[in-house]
Structure 1
Amino acid sequence: MKKIFLVVFLIIAVFVITDLKPSPQTENNINFNSKNNIECLYYDPVDFVNIKQFELYNHGAAIRGSILPHHLLASDLIHEVFQNIRKQQYETVVLIGPDHESILMGKVFTTLKDWQTPMGVLRTEQNITRELLQNDFLIEDDSKLTKEHSISSIVPFVKYYMDDVKIVTLAMTKQTKLEDVEKLVDDLSCLVDTDKTLFISSVDFSHYLDLECANQMDAISMEAINSKDINKIMSFTNDNLDSPVSIVIMLKLMDKLYEADIHMLNHSNSELIVQQQMDETTSYITYIFTYD
C-alpha cells in the first residue's frame, strides 16, 4: 500500500513541477545555447506554418526601410513586410525597437553576440556594433536584448526571410534624447553600406484603447509620420505608439541616406485579428520606405 501511495505521489509531483515550469516566453527562462549565441526568447513556431502569401506592393524601387509590429498576434503583418523585401539583396539589417522596461533612462542597448534562432544562427555585425558602442549612451547587454520582445520576436523573421545577412540590434529607452538619436543617425550613415542595408523599426501603435479610439489615435500617428513631424511624434504616449524614438530614427535615416518615399502597407488592430470585441486593443501600422 505504501509503495502504491509513493508511486501516486511521485506522478502527481511530476505533473505539478511540470506545470510550474515557466513558459518559453517568461523572462526567467533564458537559455544561452553557447557562450557566443543568445536565444530568441520570443518565438512561436505556429507563426511559420502555413504562412499566408501576400500580394506584393508594386513599387519597382529598392526598399531601404520598414516599420512593422513586434506583437506576434500581428505575425501576418510582419510576414507581409518581409515578403515585400525578401527578393532584394542585403548584407546588413539594422533592427531598432523599444526597450519596454526603460529603467536606465536615455540608454540604448545592443549585443555583440550572435542569435540562435530555430532556423539557425543569425550573425551580429560586430564591426558596426563595436563602433556604435563607443557612444556612452550605448550599453552592451545580452540579457536585455534576449528579453526585449521588440527585438527578440523579429530576429527569427530576419533569419527566415534573409538567411545570411548580419544584424545590428538596438533597443531604445523611451527617454533617449534627440541629440543621441542624431548621433546614432550620423554614425550609422558612416558605418553601413547604404546600398546593402535594410533598416527596420519594430513598433506597435495605439495601446489600451477601444477600437474606435485606437483608430482615431492611429490617424493622428499616420499624419505625423507622413508629414515627418518629429516634435509631434516625440510627444506621443502609448495612446499613439510604444516607441517614438524608434520612429524618429527611421525617418531621419531615410531622409539623410535616401530621401526615401513613405508607403503605408497595412493597418490593423488586435480586435480585428481575433474578431472579438475588446475594451483594450493594440493597433498595428506597417510602412516601407523606397528609393529609386
Structure 2
Amino acid sequence: MGRNIISTMARIKEKNNIRRKSTVKVLFLFLTIFFSLFAFGCAKTSITTKAIIVPHHLLVENYLDDFYKQISEKNPNIEKIILISPNHFDYGNRYIQSTTSLTDKDKSEINIDRNEIAKISQTGAFSIEPIYFEKEHGIMNELIFTKKYFQNAKIIPIRIKNGTTKNRLDKATNELLKIITPNTLIIVSADFTHYTDEKIALKNDERFIKYFENLSKVKEINFDEIKKLATTENAKTADENAENYPVALDSPESLYVALKLLQQENALMFAFFKRTSSASLLGLPNPLDNTSHIFGSFSK
C-alpha cells in the first residue's frame, strides 16, 4: 500500500514537472514572438521614393508645397537629404561645392550633415565653400519645404557650376554613393526651359518627360545625352554668352549626378506629377519671361 502511494506521488510530481517545462517553453516562445514583432514595428522602414525633381521657381510655391507634402506622407522616415542645385551665380572657386554652415531665411540653423560633408571634402570630390550659399535660390527655396516636411532629416546641400566635366561629376557621384542609406532622399532642384515661347517650351519638356519615363530601360546614364536634351532648338540663333540664353534645363550636371546615383540604387522608375510654366500660368506674351517646371519622383 505504501509503495503504491509513493509511486503515485512520483508520477504526479513527474507530470507536474513536464507541465511546468511545457508552460515555460510556451511562455518563452510567446515572449520571443512578442518582442520580435515589437522590434519590427519600431524599426524604421525604408522609404520608397528615392529622388524627386522639383523647380526652385517660387511662382509655383503652392504646387511645390502640395508635392512635398505628398512625398513626406508617403515617406515618413526620411533621415538624410542630398540636395543638388545649379550654381546660378558662379560663386566660389571649385566646380562642385557644399557648406557645413547655413541658415534659412528666418535665420534658423539648417540641420546640415557636417560629418559626411567634411569626409567627402577630404577626398576632393567637392569643396566646402560657404560663401554666398544663402544667395543660391536653388538651395534656399527648397529648404523652405524640407524644413516644413522633413524636420529631422540632415541636409547635404550641393551646388554645381555649369560646365563641370563628367570626370568631376563622376568623382562626386562615387563619394556620395558611399553615404546613401535606405532612408536617403535625393532632391534635384532644377527649372527646365528658359527664355522661349510656350510652344517650344512644351516640346522641350515633353521630350524630357519621355526621357525620364524610359530611364528604367537604359543600361547607362549618358551625360552627353542629357546635355543634348538640355539644348533648346531656338538656341542656335541666340548669343551663347547672353544672360537670357535659352536652355531646356538649367543644370544638366545636377541631373546627371542624381540619375547616376539612382541607377546604382536601381531606382529609375519615374512618376510624373505636374508640368507648368510662367507663360501657361500667367499668360505672359514675352518668351524671355517664360520658365517651365517639371515635378516628378523616382522609385525602385
Q: What's the TM-score once normalised by structure 1's chain length?
A: 0.73
* Separation in 1, partners of 2:124, 2:92: 13
Structure 1 residue corresponding to 2:60, chosen from 50, 54, 74: 74
Query: Which structure's residues are more often strand, by fraction?
Result: 1
CA displacement 1:28-71 (0-9 Å, x = unmatched): xxxxxxxxxxxxxxxxxxxxxxxxxxxxxxxxx81110000001
* Separation in 2, partners of 1:110, 1:126: 10
RMSD: 2.1
Q: Name the counterpart of 2:143.
A: 155
Q: Which runs of 5+ in 2 are unaligned?
A: 1-46, 216-220, 232-245
Amino acid at match of 2:225: K
1:98-117 to structure 2, matched below 5 A, reads: 98-102=86-90, 107-117=95-105
Q: Report whether the alignment pairs 1:201 with 2:209.
A: no
* Separation in 1, partners of 2:151, 2:107: 8
* Separation in 1, partners of 2:102, 2:200: 41
TM-aligned CA deviation for residue 105 of structure 1: 7.7
Contact map agreement 2:104 2:143 (CA 8 A) in 1: no
TM-aligned CA deviation for residue 120 of structure 1: 4.3
CA displacement 1:182-240 (0-9 Å, x = unmatched): 222221111132x1111000000000001111111212222333344622212324421
Amino acid at match of 2:70: N
TM-aligned CA deviation for residue 157 of structure 1: 1.1
* Separation in 2, partners of 1:225, 1:250: 12
Query: Which structure's residues are more often helix, by fraction?
Result: 2
TM-aligned CA deviation for residue 106 of structure 1: 6.3
* Separation in 2, partners of 1:279, 1:261: 33
Q: Name the counterpart of 2:154.
A: 166
Q: Report whether the alignment pairs 1:233 with 2:231.
A: no
Contact map agreement 2:103 2:134 (CA 8 A) in 1: no
Contact map agreement 2:81 2:185 (CA 8 A) in 1: yes
* Separation in 1, partners of 2:225, 2:92: 24
Q: Name the counterpart of 1:10.
A: none
Q: Name the counterpart of 1:284.
A: 293
CA displacement 1:224-279 (0-9 Å, x = unmatched): 33344622212324421100011111111111023331111110111122244333
Contact map agreement 2:226 2:256 (CA 8 A) in 1: yes
TM-aligned CA deviation for residue 147 of structure 1: 1.1
- Count of aligned pairs: 230
Q: Which runs of 5+ in 1 are unaligned?
A: 1-60
Contact map agreement 1:110 1:139 (CA 8 A) in 2: yes
Q: Name the counterpart of 1:27.
A: none
CA distance 1:78–1:209, change in 2 (3 Å):
same
Amino acid at match of 1:82: Y
Q: Which of structures 1 and 2 has the bigger CA Rg?
A: 2
Task: Give runs of ≥4 in structure 1 deviating > 4 Å.
Answer: 103-106
Q: Name the counterpart of 1:271.
A: 279
Structure 2 residue corresponding to 1:245, chosen from 253, 266, 282: 253
